[in-house]
A and B are shown apart, each in its own frame.
Chain A
Amino acid sequence: DAKTTQPNSMESNEEEPVHLPCNHSTISGTDYIHWYRQLPSQGPEYVIHGLTSNVNNRMASLAIAEDRKSSTLILHRATLRDAAVYYCILDSGYSTLTFGKGTMLLVSP
């Protein structure tokens, strides 16, 4: 299975943009890039996904490198509620997701 590499943790200040990187150098042509986040004491929740083009939704933006070997989740204005573990996951289309350790995002007031 294609793997992803993320920093263990990142810090941000409230109301500043946050760029969470993910490397996936062995991604295959049909793999979707998914991002989930897990708030403290909760189950993971879907954030965004993409295949080749950059994507935007109400929660975040996803920037995908032209060679698709890396991607960046962008939170435009971090809030305290965005403090969570963020998982970058490749989906080959067989409907099972493999979660790594993710990036713990700390947001300071």
Chain B
Amino acid sequence: DADVTQTPRNRITKTGKRIMLECSQTKGHDRMYWYRQDPGLGLRLIYYSFDVKDINKGEISDGYSVSRQAQAKFSLSLESAIPNQTALYFCATSDYGTPDNEQFFGPGTRLTVL
């Protein structure tokens, strides 16, 4: 079984709809992240959480919100989706205190906003 899972894997929605993307991990990591990737570009950080009570904005948090329901779960919400939020979304996790700070990524969620 995959260590980092994302649901749904694909989603098509309409402008103005509320959307939730979910991420779960079985690695026991404290830290979780949400990124988005647009075609031909690298990943940009949306939000990150260093533990259940810690939530931080990333580079592009406007229009998004997150919830860290448990150590293993980190959800990303689009309160009112707009077409320019069409992108590939990745969740990632990392351990606390490891010197290599390796991040483990999920398979991604492809979101289309019409």
Q: Which residue numbers of A lie inside 8 Å of B, CB to CB?
A: 32, 34, 36, 41-46, 49, 87, 91, 93, 95-102
Contact = CB atoms under 8 A, between A and B. Distances in A.
B66 to A, nearest CB: 14
Contact of B48 (A36, A45, A96): A96
Contact of B42 (A42, A91, A95, A100): A100
Contacts of A101: 40-42
- Among A45, A46, A91, residue most surrounded by chain B Cβ atoms (within 10 Å): A46
Q: How large is the interface on B (under 10, 10 to 19, 20 to 34, 35 or more residues)?
A: 20 to 34
B107 to A, nearest CB: 6
A98 B60 CA distance: 12
A102 B43 CA distance: 10
Nearest to A104: B40
A95 B29 CA distance: 13
A95 B50 contact: yes
Given A95-B31, A96-B58, A43 B105 contact: yes
Contacts of A102: 42
25 contacts: A34-B101, A42-B107, A42-B108, A43-B90, A43-B105, A43-B107, A43-B108, A44-B90, A44-B105, A46-B104, A87-B42, A91-B101, A95-B48, A95-B50, A95-B94, A95-B101, A96-B45, A96-B48, A96-B58, A97-B45, A97-B101, A98-B45, A99-B44, A100-B42, A101-B40
